[in-house]
Amino acid sequence: MNGPIRSLLVATLLVFGSTLFPGQAHANVIIAGTRVVFPAQDGEVTVRLTNDNTVPALVEAWIDNGDPHSTPDKVHTPFLITPPLFRIDPHQDQDLRILAASPNLPADRESIFWLNVLEVPPKPTGEQYKGKNLLQVALRSRLKLFYRPAGLPGDANKAPGSLTWKVVSDGKGYALEAHNPTPYHITVTQTTVQVGGKPYNTEAGMVDPFGTLRLAFKQAPAQLPAGTAINFDIINDYGAVAVFKGTVSP
């Protein structure tokens, strides 16, 4: 079966699986970590996969620019993955090597891509399956991949402390707007302010390098004066949650 046809079938299985069995399927191929940081000076990074099941799994891996509907035959990124298609036996590990192939990317900030790991289970065998219609579910995991140029100033894990915050109107009340003056991506998982002794939380989001992100409140407070304290959680390079503090600017 050629690459494009096989990828289309896999994508179809993935769609059917997520549509027909929401919340029931779970990946047996475990990825070490929840994100990948690629230091440019290293030239390559390694991601470890483990098959936590009692049966083998077929795995396909590729990197895209942010399109969740991407397929391996239609992506064009400055990275190579080896091996791109492989089998993992039960309770065995497999290392994915990700190499940068002369990337023409900004040198003054991080660039973001997505690592896709698609797991296709083997066809069930045995007398109990004969004569039965079966639906195999292919499961895909997507992880953020941060390409980090050499020599960027500052510390990525301290960058969230540099965020500045202001109050803006979003048509339904107030929202918080975060500005990122650093060359690093900052993933904010929760932001909380206390107004009148009551906590108010915003939506989550990621602030691009030198960019701005508007975070709407799930339930907007009546007012949010300058100087209001902000507590916010971020995801650091190690995939762990770290807590930072800020204030609303005038």
| Residue ranges of domains in the chain, CATH in brackets | 3-148 (2.60.40.10), 159-247 (2.60.40.10)
How many C-beta neighbours within 10 Å does residue 8 have?
12
Q: What is the mean pLDDT of residues 185-198?
A: 94
Q: What pLDDT score does 43 carry?
A: 94
For residue 186, the model assigns a pLDDT of 98
* pTM score: 0.84
What is the rounded distance in angstroms from the CA atom of residue 231 to the CA atom of residue 229?
Answer: 7
* Range of weakest confidence among 126-135, 168-177, 215-224: 126-135
Contact 166, 247 (CB under 8 A): no
User: In 224-237, which positions are buried (b, 16+ CB within 10 angstroms) versus exposed (e)?
Assistant: beeebebebbbbbb
Backbone angles phi, psi at 13, to 5 degrees: -60, -40
What per-residue confidence (pLDDT) applies to 17? Answer: 37
Cα 104 versus chain centre, distance: 22
Output the pLDDT for position 220.
80
Higher pLDDT pick, 178 / 71:
178
pLDDT band per the 50, 70, 90 thresholds, residue 167: very high
Is pLDDT of 21 > 70? Answer: no
Q: Look at the alpha carbons of 67, 71, 77, 80 in this order and tell me if their dihedral is positive or negative.
A: positive
H or E stretch including 3? helix 3-20
| pLDDT category of residue 138 using cuts at 50, 70 and 90 | confident
Pull the structure tokens for residue 247: 């204030």
pLDDT at 88 over 50: yes
φ/ψ (deg, to 5) at 118: -105, 125
* pLDDT for 180: 98
Percent of the chain clearing pLDDT 70 (strictly above):
84
Structure-block tokens of residue 212 = 């701005």
Which three-class secondary structure state does DSSP give residue 20? helix
pLDDT at position 16: 37
- Answer yes or no: are the C-beta atoms of 53 and 160 closer than 8 Å: no
Instruction: Answer whether 74's CB lies under 8 Å from 181's CB.
Output: no
Is pLDDT above 90 for 79?
yes
The values of phi and psi at residue 128, to 5°, are -65, -15
Model confidence at 250, pLDDT cuts 50, 70, 90, reads: confident
Q: What is the pLDDT of residue 26?
A: 63
Does the pLDDT of residue 219 top 50, yes or no? yes
Task: Please report, rounded to a whole number, the percentage of residues in the chain having pLDDT higher than 90.
Answer: 68
Distances (CA, A) of 126 to 51, 122, 130: 22, 12, 7
Q: What is the identity of the amino acid at 228? A: T
